Amino acid sequence: MKKKIIVFGATSGIGNEIFKLFEKDTQSDCYSISSSTSQKKNHIQVDLSDPKKTLSFIKKKFNKKSIYVLVFAQRYRGSSLETHLNVGLISVLAILNEFESKFKKGSSVTFLLSQASKSVLNNHDIAYHIVHSALKSLIKFYAVRFGKKQVRVNGVSTATIKKNTNRKYFNKKNNLTNFLKKLSPLNTIGDAKDVANCVYFLSNKGANYITGQTIAVDGGVDLLTNEALGKKIINIK
């Protein structure tokens, strides 16, 4: 029987790269779920901003299916606090509780987080920060709760990443690209594929003893002190 893999938010950006990796596995049935339409095979259009309808649909669609991998990469881009909470937390909790009995031994759940889980981002509102901060605690809680079934729960956090919507811009030389490169000891900007590779690793047997962790795929942007980073940016030794 093929493994069932579900990726929420797989129609664009990092979620799309994650889906493409799992889709290559011929021993798996990979499902894409988001509020957007898509030509992907096994794509399901579901609006996570409505937790009741989401749960009702999930129950019907996956009633007799065992879930092996679950990835939450969805994102709401509006400003409504209620919608942020529904998409990022309330529907997620309902889905996890529904799938608890469907997880197999060795299953994994992975969440995609941003730097808003630990820092303040000027281009995002309070609702976005609330959701991502809460997800870090949720990861730990469900890692303990699901641990008795040997189901692992982890997170992957990112900094600014090149993806299909901005790759052309960041591949060109400009002030922002040069500045972001200086923030990382690696002197580069990461790619969505780097994040997808980490999610893929956490979802497979090679990560069997990793749970409750949030792994940063950010090129080490937090490793330098403020003073060291400032000197690097303005070229002072």
* Number of structural domains found in the chain: 1
Q: What stretches of 42-110 show up as alpha helix (H) in DSSP?
A: 51-61, 81-85, 91-99
Q: Which residues contact 94 (CB under 8 A, 6 or more apart)?
A: 51, 54, 55, 58
pLDDT for 219:
95
Reading the block at residue 185, the tokens are: 């000891």
CATH number at residue 208: 3.40.50.720
Tokens of 151: 């189901």
What tens digit of pLDDT does each residue of 156-214 get? 999 999 998 899 899 888 899 999 999 999 999 999 999 999 999 999 999 999 999 99
What pLDDT sits at residue 237? Answer: 66
The reported pLDDT for the residue numbered 224 is 85
10-residue averages of pLDDT along the chain (237 residues): 90 95 91 90 92 93 90 92 95 96 95 92 90 96 97 96 90 89 93 97 96 96 87 79
- pLDDT recorded at residue 53: 94
User: Domain containing 34: what range?
Assistant: 3-233
Share of the chain above pLDDT 90, in %: 75
For position 189, what pLDDT does the model report?
95
pTM (two decimals): 0.93
